[in-house]
Amino acid sequence: MRVLPHAPSNMTLDAEPAVSRSRPGTSCPVDLSPLPDVAASSGDDVRDAVRRARDAQPGWAARSLREREEAIDALATHLLERSAEIQELIEQELGRPRILSVIAEICAAREYVKQVVRAGRAALAPERIKLSKLDWPGKSAVVEAVPRGVVAIIAPWNYPLANYYKHFFPAVLAGNAVVLKPSEHTPRTGAWFAKQCQEVFPKDLVQVVQGAGDIGAALIDAGVDAVTFTGSVRTGRKVAAHAGERLIPCSVELGGKDAAIVLADCDLDRTAIGVVTWAMQNTGQDCSSIERVYVEESIADAFAARVSAIAKKLRVSTGEGIADIGPVQNEAQLRIVESHVSEAIEKGALLLAGGKRTGKGLGFEPTVLDHCTHAMQVVAEETFGPVLTILRVRDAEHAIEMANDTSYGLNASVWTRDIDRGSALARRLQAGVVYVNNHSIAGAMPEIPWTGVKQTGPGVAASRHAYHTFVRRRTLFVDTNSKPDPIWFPADENLREFGEAIVARGLYGGLGVMFKLLGLLGKRVKAVQALSQST
């Protein structure tokens, strides 16, 4: 075994290769106090984890859907009963205040599972194919959902517990075994979740491996049957290519640079607090954080004043008392945030709030930048920190054009009192989830597809639409007809006439054609029977 190092990350998850020598483990972002080392997995550990999961999977798949539903509900209860444990662990690894982790990752676990079950029942239900009794007498077909086998979940650090939900619950509900690969930044939370799973599910069904990018690659090489990944574009491309070489399904979500459009007729009070909430939630370390706001010029001054006043009141965690946001999770990510802010100011952005470290740990003040442009990194690239940029636009048409000028496309929103107009504009935004007067919240709803376009990636998480990753479709075809099919051998003149009659039915229809076809049908059956009996 190796010791997992504190490897820098560029985006949601952008793992550098693990090293073979021992190094200190990660530190708490709040005060930089050291955390215990975590043993990184070896290649043999990864292969053994996949083997154990594969051995356990058939027995799990043989259980009824109802039994699997009860198991995931039991796990959700298990998580709630141990809420205090995981709150403390997330605070240590992510720096997020405990009260916020309760809301973001824990309190709704059972309700989340109930919605997963509803979506799962729709996705996993057998589909009976309607066949014509005239054309296909005695025949029936049903399409069934068959579990893939062993699913690898390569997880990010920004929601170190809840990010498992959207892939883990559907995967096991569908009858799969799972191998978890936590981020190297939050390995302890991942190990804790795996332990809770192992206490509820059959032995070996849920495995965990630890490490950086090389362990994720080793996991795919170890023979898993599907993989999900949440993280950076750079790493996501590698994961997708690696999965493609093995011809296994791969679902990837690769970040975002979400835009909000604020129209002049919006409810300014509600819009301001809503935009700031979804910009600063989880310290802006969310693929669906609002990072760009396009505001109509006529209300831009008032909007900028409102959001900057709110941002200045937000408290960054120091480890004591109540706070609104935590620190940035790691030093490498904090340097990206600082670089984006300083470059924007150099290029003419106006700093309205924040803009610097808090002075303790990896805290960074909630930051608002006005008069931003697309020439700035803070607008063009994913910042993944507590930074909101304001861009002033002439009108809604200008806003749509600018909002779509990005390489990402996860969430986007329009804020207006005119719901019909807002809905029409939202449909023109190039994103997987679009909103009117809200943002990001659909990520907590497992019956809604969570997906994106462009470099955000083609993956779908949550809802019945995500199950392609977790099941393959098998068609069961049954023929109860006692007579042979008329299209079987021999190929004779009678078969030609039969084919021409089918063509005539398609072109002209009518009773005459139908009677002729029925007569030829009887002749064909007799011809096939004669060939069979002649042997």
Catalytic machinery residues: 253, 287
Residue of 280, 272, 291, 439 whose CA lies nearest to 363: 280
Token pair for residue 402?
Answer: 């600018």
Helix (H) or strand (E) holding 451: strand 450-451
- Kindly give the residue spans of alpha helices, DSSP state H, lying in 314-404: 331-346, 377-380, 396-403
What 8-state DSSP symbol labels residue 104? I
**How far apart are alpha carbons 378 and 291 in whole angstroms?**
8
**How far apart are alpha carbons 161 and 49 in whole angstroms?**
20
Q: Are 439 and 426 in contact (CB under 8 A)?
A: no
Direct distance between the N- and C-terminal alpha carbons of the chain, in angstroms, rounded to an integer: 67
Q: Which residue has the tokens 């996860």?
A: 410
- Kindly compute the dihedral angle of the four CA atoms of residues 189, 194, 198, 202, in this order, to the nearest 10 degrees: 160
3-state secondary structure of 157: coil
What 8-state DSSP symbol labels residue 105? I
Contacts of 506 (CB under 8 A, 6+ apart): none
Residue 441, Cβ density class (10 Å: 0-12 exposed, 13-18 middle, ≥19 buried): middle
**How far apart are alpha carbons 240 and 31 in whole angstroms?**
37
Q: Are 399 and 426 in contact (CB under 8 A)?
A: no
> For helices 187-200 and 83-94, what crossing angle results, to 10°?
160
For strand 450-451 and strand 460-461, is the pairing parallel, antiparallel, or unpaired?
Answer: antiparallel
Helix (H) or strand (E) holding 352: strand 350-353
